[in-house]
Amino acid sequence: MSFITSFIRFFYRNKPSQEKMAEVKKWIDEDIAGNKIFVISKSYCPYCVKAKKALESFSLKEGSMKWMDIENHPDMNAIQDYMGALTGSRSVPKVFIGGKYLGGGDDTVAAKSNGTLEKMLRDVEAI
C-alpha cells in the first residue's frame, strides 16, 4: 500500500457506527480476557515482528497465544479505534498478557530484556 493510499485511508475513512464499535469491543474484550496472550498486529509492521520474536523466544505452550493480523480485517478501523480508546493509541502491535496491556513492540522487547516478560508469561502459565 502506498503512502498516499494510507494517508487517504487514515484521514477519509468511514467512522465505524456505534453498533459496530460495541460489537468489536465485545469480541476484542473476550479475546483479551480469554487468551493468556493476545496480540493485535499487522503482518508487515516491523514493531509487530519485534514483538512476535520476543514472545516466540520463549517456549510458549500450545494454544497460549492468539495473534490477530488485522490489515485485511473488515473491521480494522473499528478495532484500531477501540484500541485507541482502550490504550491511548491506534498503532500496532497491542500486546496483552493475562488480560493486561503490556504495550507495543518496543515495550515487549524491553520487558523481555529486563525479565518482566518472562515473569508475566510464567504468571499466566504460558511457559
Average pLDDT (79-84) is 96
pTM value is 0.86
Please state the three-class secondary structure of the chain as a single string. Answer: CCHHHHHHHHHHCCCCCHHHHHHHHHHHHHHHHHCCEEEEECCCCHHHHHHHHHHHCCCCCCCCEEEEECCCCCCHHHHHHHHHHHHCCCCCCEEEECCEEEECHHHHHHHHHHCHHHHHHHHCCCC
**Domains of the chain, each with CATH number or no CATH:** 18-123 (3.40.30.10)
Dump pLDDT digits (tens) for 54-75.
Answer: 999 999 999 999 999 999 999 9
Tell me which of 1 and 81 has the higher pLDDT.
Answer: 81
Dump pLDDT digits (tens) for 6-51.
Answer: 665 655 556 788 888 899 999 999 999 999 999 999 999 999 999 9
